[in-house]
Copies of this chain bind each other. A is one copy, B any other.
Amino acid sequence: MDGPADDPDPTPRRGPVTLRTIAELAGVHVTTVSRVLAPPAQAVRTSSPETAQRIREIAAELGYRPDPHGRALRTNRSHLVGVLVPRLADLVLATIYEGVEDAAGRAGYSTFVTNSQDDVARRADRTDMLLARRVDGILLGDAPVDGSSLGLLVERGVPYALVSRRAPGHPSVTCDDLAGGRLAAEHLLALGHRDVAVVAGEPYTSTGLDRTGGFLAAFAEAGHPVPDHRVRRSGFDVRGGREAAEALLATGPLPTAVFAVNDFAAIGVMGAVRDRGLTPGREVSVVGFNDVPLAAELPVGLTTVRSPMHEMGRRGFALLLARIEGRTWGSELLDPELVARASTGPAPR
C-alpha cells in the first residue's frame, strides 16, 4: 500500500535517493550524474555546464547522499577507520578521540572506536572486528611499547598509526613525554626539592616509561639521582595513584615531592597525602601530567604538565590518512608545557 509512490510529484519522492533517481529526473544516464557529482579533483570527462548545473540542482533538492556501501563495494575504500583505545572512560583517551573524530569528520571519514582494556586477547578480537568491517586503517591508542600485537597489522598490510603511546619503528603522534618529564623535574628542582618520588604508570606504556625517564634523567643530571625504591609503577587512575603513593609514603623518610605521570594518579597521590594529615603543596608537593580540566578545579589546584590531547588526536588521524593515501609521513612529537598551580611549593627544610 505504501509502495514506491507512482505519483508524478517529483519533490517528496519516496524511498532513498540514488543516482538513478536523479538521472531519470534529469533525463540523463547515471554515469553522467556520477561524474558530475564526483569531487572536482577527479573531474574527468565532464558534462556541459548546463547539464551539470541541472543535475546539481536536482541532487541538492532531493538531498542526495551517496550510499557508502555501494561506493565502498566498488572502490574498495570504506572511508572508515578503526580506533583502539585502552578505555574510553579514561578522560585522556576520550579527549584524544574527540580530536580524532573531529579530523576524521572533516576528511569525510567515520570512526569506530572500541576499547581493548590493554588486554592482549581483547585487542586481537577487536582488531579482527574492525578488519571484518573493512576499515581503511586503524589508529592505535593502546600500543604497548614493545610493539607486540602490531605484527598482525604489518603482515596484513593494513595502514595504521599510533597515537598517545609510541613504539620504536612504528609511525606515531605523541606528546614529547621525555621532555614533559624533564619539565616536571626542572620545576621541582627549581623549588629546591632533592628527595622526590615517582608514580610511574604502567611499565608497558611509552607514556609511563618516557615521562619517568625524562624526570629521572633530569634529576640525575642535576646531581640528585632518584633511588629505585622511590619509583613505583601504578595504574593510570585515581586508585592506582593512591595505592602507589601509599606504598611510597610508607617506607622511610617522606619525600618532599611526588611526580605522577598522570593527573588522575596525581589526584590519588593527593588523597594519600591528605590521609596522612598533610597538605599537598606544603609538606609534600605533587605534580601530575596532562592537565585535564579537573586539575584546575580541585580544592588545591594541581601543578601539571599539559599535553595537547585534542591536537594529538587530530594529528594522529592526519598521519593515518597520509599512510592510507600513500603519501609521505613522519612520526610527530608534540610539545608539552608546565602549568604551575598550588600543589607545588618550595621544599620544606
Contacts and interface: CB of A to CB of B under 8 A. Distances in A.
Interface of A: 65, 67-70, 72-73, 78, 87-89, 91, 94-95, 97-98, 101, 105, 110-115, 129, 131-134, 237-239, 242, 264, 267-268, 270-271, 274-275, 293-294, 297-299
A110 B135 CA distance: 12
Given A95-B89, A132-B65, A133-B68, A297 B239 contact: yes
B69 A78 contact: yes
Contact of A69 (B89, B112, B134, B237): B134
Counting every copy of the chain, the complex holds: 2
Given A67-B73, A68-B133, A105-B129, 19 more contacts: A68-B132, A69-B72, A69-B134, A73-B73, A88-B98, A89-B94, A89-B98, A91-B94, A98-B115, A110-B112, A112-B112, A113-B113, A237-B293, A238-B297, A264-B294, A268-B297, A270-B299, A274-B299, A275-B299
A129 B95 CA distance: 21
A124 to B, nearest CB: 13
A304 to B, nearest CB: 15
Contacts of A72: 69
Contacts of A91: 89, 91, 94
A146 to B, nearest CB: 26
Contacts of A239: 293, 297
Contacts of A89: 91, 94-95, 98
A116 to B, nearest CB: 12
B238 A293 contact: yes
A225 B241 CA distance: 42
A67 B73 CA distance: 9
Nearest to A239: B297
A72 B78 CA distance: 13
Nearest to A238: B297
Nearest to A301: B271
A5 to B, nearest CB: 14
Contacts of A238: 293-294, 297
Nearest to A70: B73
Contacts of A69: 68-70, 72-73, 78, 134
A270 B267 CA distance: 15
A131 B65 contact: yes
A67 B98 contact: no
A288 to B, nearest CB: 14
* Closest 7 A/B residue pairs (Cβ): A238-B297, A65-B132, A274-B299, A69-B72, A69-B69, A89-B94, A69-B73
A298 B137 CA distance: 40
A92 to B, nearest CB: 9
A297 to B, nearest CB: 4
